[in-house]
Amino acid sequence: MKISKAWVLTMLFTAMLVISMITGHSHSLQAASSVGKDSLTMITSPDYPPYEFYDTQGGNRQIVGFDVDIANTLAQRLGFKLQIMESDFNGLIPALQANRADFVMAGMTPTPERRKNVDFSIIYYEAKDTIVAPKTSNLKQPQDLVGKTVGVQLGTIQEQNAKKIAAKFPGIQLKQLNRVPEAIQEIKSGRIDAAIVEDTVARGFAQANPELEFNVIPSEEGSGSAIAFPKGSPLVAPFNQVLQQMRDNGELEKLATKWFSQTTATDTASSPPAKGGLNLDFRRILPEIPFILQGIPLTLLFTLLSVFLGLIWGTVLSLCKITGVQPLIWVANAYTSVFRGTPLLLQLALVYYATPQLTGYNISALEAGVLTFTLNSGAYMSETIRGGIQAVDKGQAEAAMSMGVPYRLMMWDIILPQALKNILPALVNETIGLLKDSALVSTIGVVEILRSAQIVGANKYIYFEPLLFAGLIYYVLVMGLTYGASVLERRLRQSE
């Protein structure tokens, strides 16, 4: 049988394609098996467009951006499923060290200090630092910043570069801030004179705020972004291989063009800001309102769980304090002293980051928040409940004991109901405090009301409007809670 040349070439091409697919699949399986799992968790700080930010249109809660596209490509090529979690930027490396995530992508630069704690991939993008300042300030070069106050984001390469500039040009005062939008707002409010920001991010803020400009710092070398891994991670080599392939075939350049060249005209104000006074335009956040409102259920769930569990725990502690058993009294008083004497934010960070290292349990951000607030509010409620119990007339306890009522039933059926009725206003105040303090869980990545507003502000390159709207939501919730408590208190008085 005669075999045509075209048929032979077709078969050879098919065989090569099959072999390529098999070897590629085996490489993926090899990469996946090297860490013993088929999914990876990436942690990022999604308030840094266009690297990583939330797509908030229509209430969506999907993290997108330049880094996310690269991470999805890496996961696809290496045969992993990608999961994304978030945190503040200064909590990213601690999350790696606590084994909460497999790698960090957040426009992070591999500085010598960071290399001591984590491993890095090769550089996948080069950026430059800029000076962001009002157009009329004439702050264009590092030497122009002498005698000025300059803002930088805490924990970033820009902070380190700013320190080098300040050392080279004495007289520059640095102010560390948690997020870039905060630095921009500080410039607009006149609290600082300028900020050092990466060029791709500065471009978006300058377009959204026509009164600002940015100038590249020529004396400083570009900042390179790399992927961070826990020390000794087996992912470094396969990630580097794929990144190098993406660099060689132009994929990284195409993604950079896609994200860094797109206009931010849709995020700019409809008109230039007015000179003098506070210029607010809530029309800019109208499409994002559904996204902010989605934080309400999570905030309420967190508050109600914390109050309910804190009330139970506080009752237990208060009973320990009045039992007359000295060891129980000492333990309860010592516990209350520790939790009332240390900052709540410190307790939250310790629970969230230390629990995986100490117990091996990968506690979620919501669980860590509820646990921390339960332990903290229990300490405060224990004193309130103890005072309420001791305020109940002693004659009722003596009458119950004379009738042979067991101590447990006496406390549950007679004393505690009256005590709770007496301390209801104090418990309402504690609940209101928990509702407002729930904003602290945004520092560990819980997207509640405040975090949602901050995300919208970062995406829109604005500050006041989303925060004012978030404040309105908190106010409405507190007023609703106050009204409900007053109705309950009136009914309790009528039942007496």
Sign of CA dihedral 391, 393, 394, 396: negative
> Would you say 269 and 208 are in contact if contact means Cβ atoms under 8 Å apart?
yes
Distance of alpha carbon 372 from the chain centroid: 16
pLDDT score for 275: 42
pLDDT score for 477: 93
Domain topology for 5-126+225-260? D-Maltodextrin-Binding Protein; domain 2 (3.40.190)
Distance of alpha carbon 150 from the chain centroid: 24
DSSP code of 145?
G
Q: The tokens of 425 are what?
A: 């206003």
Which amino acid is located at 469 in the chain?
Answer: F
Sign of CA dihedral 263, 266, 267, 272: positive
pLDDT score for 309: 94
| Model pLDDT for residues 146-174, shown as the tens digit of each residue | 999 999 988 788 888 899 899 989 999 99
pLDDT score for 58: 66
DSSP string, 301-354: HHHHHHHHHHHHHHHHHHHHHHS--HHHHHHHHHHHHHHHHS-HHHHHHHHHHH
Largest CA distance in the chain: 112
Nearest to 467, CA basis, from 479, 480, 455: 455
pLDDT score for 35: 52
pLDDT score for 370: 93
- CB count within 10 Å of CB 170 equals 8
- CA–CA dist 35, 57 (Å, integer): 36
- CB count within 10 Å of CB 142 equals 23
pLDDT score for 384: 85
pLDDT score for 23: 40
pLDDT score for 61: 79
Domain topology for 292-494? MetI-like fold (1.10.3720)
pLDDT score for 36: 57
DSSP code of 415?
I
pLDDT score for 267: 42
> Would you say 382 and 314 are in contact if contact means Cβ atoms under 8 Å apart?
yes
- Asked if 5-126+225-260 and 129-221 have one fold, the answer is yes
- pTM higher than 0.75 for the full model? no
pLDDT score for 157: 80
Q: The tokens of 423 are what?
A: 């301390």
Helices (H), 154-235: 157-168, 180-189, 199-208
pLDDT score for 496: 58
Q: The tokens of 212 are what?
A: 């600002």
Domain ranges (residues) in the chain: 5-126+225-260, 129-221, 292-494
pLDDT score for 398: 67
Residue appearing with tokens 């300040």:
166
> Would you say 193 and 149 are in contact if contact means Cβ atoms under 8 Å apart?
yes
Task: Select the CATH number that applies to the domain covering 129-221 from these four: 3.30.413.10, 3.40.50.2300, 3.40.190.10, 2.60.40.420.
Answer: 3.40.190.10
Nearest to 143, CA basis, from 170, 121, 125: 170
pLDDT score for 24: 41
Q: The tokens of 311 are what?
A: 């009330």
Q: Which residues of the chain have pLDDT under 70?
A: 1-36, 58-59, 219-223, 262-279, 391, 393, 395-398, 401, 407-408, 412-413, 492-496
Residue appearing with tokens 């591999």:
110
pLDDT score for 25: 41
Tell me the C-alpha to C-alpha distance, in Å, between residue 331 and each of 316, 317, 320, 336.
12, 9, 8, 9
- CA–CA dist 88, 443 (Å, integer): 6
| Model pLDDT for residues 91-115, shown as the tens digit of each residue | 899 889 888 899 999 989 888 888 9
- CA–CA dist 39, 84 (Å, integer): 11
pLDDT score for 217: 87
